[in-house]
Amino acid sequence: MTLVATDQHAREAGDRRSVRRAVVPKTLQRGWLPAVTVIAVAVGVGSVAVWKVHDMSAPGPVATVLAAQAPEQFTPKRMTYELFGSPGSGGLLTYVDVDGHPHRVDIAELPWSHTETTTLTVVSGSISGQVKGGEVGCRILVKDRVRDEHSSSHANADVTCRVKSA
């Protein structure tokens, strides 16, 4: 598309002919193809440079880690909760099992015992009891070894035993 300007003098003289002159400067008429070529090459070289920098700065491969494996011969752990003493006219005990779930038990007679077995490598548990009698004691055994033991002797006695890691 060429822009055209009409000759002002020809119009004033009454001549209906118009003289066409290009509005685009001569340097642009001659140099548009080299300018477009230079711009295209610059964009291409810039794109390749960005791609190469991005490719070189990518992180290396991630090392995979094997999943934890249980030892070939693993002995399951057995945890025993015990509450003993004189319940008087009743009592209440609460304990947290090896999976971390709390349990509540109303007690009418003692001794009380509960055993759980697990293959977990680390186990924790707790037991607490309160009786309307005069004395109460608790004990937590892991693999038949006493890990925690407490007792209390007074009116409405209460006691807590806890194993944090076994």
Q: What is the rounded CA–CA span in Å between residue 15 and residue 38?
A: 45
The pLDDT score that the predictor gives to residue 81 is 94
- Verdict on whether the full-model pTM lies above 0.75: no
The pLDDT score that the predictor gives to residue 31 is 80
pLDDT tens digits for range 108-147: 888 999 999 988 888 889 999 999 878 899 999 998 899 9
**pLDDT exceeding 70 applies to what percent of the chain?**
77
Beta strands in 54-144 (DSSP E): 77-86, 91-96, 102-107, 112-118, 125-131, 135-142
Beta strands in the chain (DSSP E): 4-5, 21-22, 77-86, 91-96, 102-107, 112-118, 125-131, 135-142, 145-153, 158-163
The pLDDT score that the predictor gives to residue 67 is 62
What SS3 class is residue 113?
Answer: strand
The pLDDT score that the predictor gives to residue 68 is 64
**Which pair of structure tokens corresponds to residue 35?**
């300018």
Residue 3 clears pLDDT 70, i.e. is over it: no
Least confidently predicted of 42-46, 66-70, 77-81: 66-70
